[in-house]
Every structure is written in C-alpha cells, then in structure tokens.
C-alpha cells in the first residue's frame, strides 16, 4: 500500500514555475538585445553640403607711423652789409613785414611760391611779375588785379614801395634786393642767424623758421604688406584717408602729410591702417568645411563623393573662411571630418 506524500504535487508545480520564469526572462532579454539602441549604435549622419557664397573683401593691415621733420626754411639776405636791426624770435613775417635792416635800410618779407630772380620794370611779363603784383596788393600799394604784366599801375605801386624801402624817388624798376623771400606761407621766426652787428652777404642766412613736417614714415610689417593690397592703396588715420604707395615706406605729398599730422596731433607717432583701394571678390564658406592635410595642403570637398579641391585662404574668422575665387567651387561639404572614406587632402 503506497502513501502519497502530502504536498508533493504542489512542490513540483512551484519548482517548475521557478525554472520557467528565468527562462522566459532570458528570452525576453535576448530579444531586446537584438534591437539596436539608437543612443549607442552611432547612427550615420547624412553628409551636409552647403552652397558657396560670393562676397567682397578689402585687405587691411595695421602699420606704425612717425612724423618726420625737416629743418625750417632759412630766410637769406638778398644783399650785403651790416645788420642793424632784426625781427625777434616768435615774430610772424607776412607780406610787407620788416625782416631785417641792413645798413639801416629796411628789407621786407615777401610771401610767395618762389622768390624774385630779376629786376622788374615797365613792359616785363611773366609769373615773377604776377608774384610782385601779389606782394604789392598785399601791402596796399596796388589795387589792380594781378595779371603778370608790368604796366603803369604796377609802376606807380613800385615807386611807392621803393620810397618806403629807402630807394631814390621816382624809381619804377623793382629791385629784388628790397625784399626777403620767406616761403609760400608767413614765416614764424624760430631763430636769428644774423644778429645785430653781423656782416652778411647775398645768400647769407638771416632767420630760420620752425622745423616742418616733410613726411610721415610708414613701418610696414616684416615681409611687406602682401600683393593682395595692390601697388596703390590707402592709408587711414582716424577720419583721414590719403593715397599710399605700398612698399614706399612713407607719405611725402605735402597735402597728405599735413592731413596726417593733423590726425595724429598732438602726438607725432601712432598707428594707421593700410587698405586696398578697392574691394576684391572672395568665396565665403563655413570654417568647418576647410581641411588641412599633410604637408600643409588646404582643401575643401564639393561633396562626399568628390575629390578634394585645393584652395587658398585669404581671410575669415571663427565661423566663416574666405577663399581665393580661383578655387572655382560652388558647393562644399560642411562636415568632412564626420564622413568616412574621403580622399586625403594633399
């Protein structure tokens, strides 16, 4: 007679259930493991191709500037004798102002682009006659409009001027020894070269004016400014823009020098910018599209299937790069670093 052990059947059911649950779970894990995890599978991103845009660039470089000064104009004696009086330091000599007395005869200032080089009398014509007439108008001796012709009105004006200069009465011929040429602008006396008592001869120095700005030196970067600026460029200092010949190292045109001196004042040195006279065309691409290969080659890829195109970078910044238009590309692969299998640059 057999005995059934109480609970045996239930115990096997429980054991069987315990064994079945892990097996089901394992199958579920295996099934789940077979499904790719998009956060870990590194799904391939489609290459991004962007169009190349045309732009303009004005190459610019920073330069150092320094004002160069030349010795001031020297007012020379037109005659010989003993200096008996002289204009003091600081005096401003305009047309007709007394510059010096030689043998007690006054010599007056003549402001003009050039000195007189001959005696002038009735019937003479020329630019020197016009300069004489300008002097006579400035001193109040002539009311007629200067025309470069020595006529009756000019003769009367010369007679009056001569009388005030200690010449004999009735003189109608103008003697260049009556005046001292002080340059194209009124002259401020910086120093007296021939003090009272000095003996002077024709051409001897009487007075010297202040040193004048003769040029503005331009210190270009080592190696020069580069061909992209062209031979003729512009120099900018504040609001002032003047022409600049690349490679010359200086601005010497008097009007340009004067403008730069004013822009730099009160300093006599500073910085400026040299820029191309006209903008030049460039191609603009995302900075990420430009690849540097072995040996320093620089390339872009028109797309993920094309060979690299060598380019020349001429400018740009952190987000975009400017290329020489000679590259001829119309589109570029924006993310070549994320694309496998590209041909190497260079």
Tokens describing residue 82: 């003993």
Quick one: 168 and 223 in the same domain? no
- The answer to whether 264 and 270 have CB atoms below 8 angstroms apart is yes
* Unique residue bearing structure tokens 């120099």: 235
Dist. CA 68–CA 275, nearest whole Å: 22
Distances (CA, A) of 296 to 144, 286, 292, 301, 312: 76, 19, 6, 16, 11
Quick one: 219 and 174 in the same domain? no
Cα dihedral value 230, 234, 237, 239, nearest 10: -140
- Asked whether the predicted pLDDT for residue 75 surpasses 50, the reply is yes
Last residue of some domain: 276, 298, 314? 276
- DSSP per-residue letters across 253-272: -HHHHHHHHHHHTT-SEEEE
This prediction's pTM: 0.60
- The answer to whether 310 and 296 have CB atoms below 8 angstroms apart is no
User: Is residue 234, in this structure, part of any structural domain at all?
Assistant: yes
- For the stretch 235-265, pLDDT in tens is 999 999 999 999 999 999 999 999 999 999 9
Tokens describing residue 119: 């005696």
- For the stretch 291-321, pLDDT in tens is 998 888 999 999 999 999 999 998 888 899 9
Last residue of some domain: 155, 174, 208? 208
Quick one: 200 and 94 in the same domain? yes
User: Is residue 165, in this structure, part of any structural domain at all?
Assistant: yes
Q: Maximum Cα–Cα distance for the chain, whole Å?
A: 180
Quick one: 220 and 255 in the same domain? yes
Q: How many domains does the chain have?
A: 3
Sign, CA torsion 132/133/135/141: positive
Quick one: 265 and 291 in the same domain? no
User: Is residue 159, in this structure, part of any structural domain at all?
Assistant: yes
Quick one: 220 and 136 in the same domain? no
């Amino acid at each position: 007679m057999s005995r059934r052990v109480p609970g045996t059947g239930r115990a096997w059911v429980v054991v069987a259930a315990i064994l079945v649950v892990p097996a089901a779970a394992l199958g579920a894990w295996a099934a789940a493991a077979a499904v790719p995890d998009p956060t870990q599978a590194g799904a391939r991103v489609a290459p991004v191709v962007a169009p190349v845009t045309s732009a303009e660039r004005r190459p610019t470089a920073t330069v150092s500037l320094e004002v160069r000064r030349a010795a001031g104009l020297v007012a020379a004696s037109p005659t010989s004798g003993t200096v008996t009086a002289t204009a003091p330091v600081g005096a401003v000599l305009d047309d007709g102002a007394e510059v010096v007395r030689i043998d007690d005869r006054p010599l007056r200032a003549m402001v003009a682009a050039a000195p007189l080089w001959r005696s002038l009398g009735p019937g003479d014509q020329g630019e020197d006659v016009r300069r004489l007439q300008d002097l006579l108008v400035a001193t109040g001796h002539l009311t007629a409009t200067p025309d470069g012709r020595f006529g009756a009105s000019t003769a009367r004006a010369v007679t009056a001027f001569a009388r005030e200069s200690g010449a004999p009465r009735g003189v109608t011929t103008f003697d260049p020894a009556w005046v001292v040429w002080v340059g194209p602008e009124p002259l401020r006396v910086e120093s007296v070269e021939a003090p009272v008592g000095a003996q002077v001869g024709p051409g001897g120095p009487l007075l010297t004016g202040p040193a004048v700005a003769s040029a503005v030196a331009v210190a270009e970067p080592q190696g020069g400014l580069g061909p992209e600026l062209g031979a003729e460029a512009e120099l900018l200092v504040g609001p002032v823009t003047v022409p600049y010949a690349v490679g010359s190292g200086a601005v010497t045109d008097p009007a340009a020098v004067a403008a730069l001196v004013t822009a730099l004042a009160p300093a006599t040195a500073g910085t400026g910018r040299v820029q191309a006279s006209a903008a030049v065309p460039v191609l603009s691409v995302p900075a990420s599209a430009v690849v540097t290969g072995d040996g320093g080659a620089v390339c872009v890829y028109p797309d993920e299937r094309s060979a690299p195109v060598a380019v020349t970078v001429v400018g740009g910044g952190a987000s975009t790069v400017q290329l020489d238009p000679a590259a001829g590309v119309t589109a570029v692969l924006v993310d070549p670093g994320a694309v496998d299998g590209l041909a190497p640059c260079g």
